[in-house]
Amino acid sequence: MSERLQPGDTAPDFTLPDADGNEVSLASHRGRKVIVYFYPAALTPGCTKQACDFTDNLALLAEAGYDVIGVSPDKPEKLAKFREQESLKVTLVGDPSKETLAAYGAFGEKKLYGKTVTGVIRSTVVVDEEGKVERAFYNVKATGHVAKIIKDLGI
């Protein structure tokens, strides 16, 4: 089970491929706040709802100084299909090795339909301009989560 991040921790840096195969790194966002959200799989109902919610609120978040990066274990080809099928504007990156997911405490044991399984733990980490964890939310629900983040951040 990976360690969960706490406010004040340094956010683990990462460089991962986006839907077009371009590398996206957390370090390149220094000076802006970043909402990094972790989801189990592209093209699934809950993950689609969450990605669409982030896309719908992207302008509001950007205006408040936040960039948004979605991380899943999917390969860039699947992310591209997801982006096109759902008209997503949010940056999606793939972590097939699950190293970044684990570094953020977003991969490990979880309950799924009453069974304990190992997989992606739906989580969101808000990183400040200096690369420190401002907030960390684990085991979040796909529906309503974006609205909750906006409320919690006072946007």
Q: Using alpha carbons, select from 83, 15, 16, 93 the residue that is nearest to residue 51.
A: 83
Which residue of the set 47, 58, 79, 125 is catalytic? 47
The residue type at 96: P
Using an 8 Å Cβ cutoff, are 95 and 80 in contact? no
Q: Is 88 exposed, middle or buried (0-12, 13-18, 19+ CB in 10 A)?
A: buried
Q: Which residues pair with 108 in a beta bridge?
A: 119
Q: Let me know if 47 is a catalytic residue.
A: yes
Residues annotated as catalytic are: 47
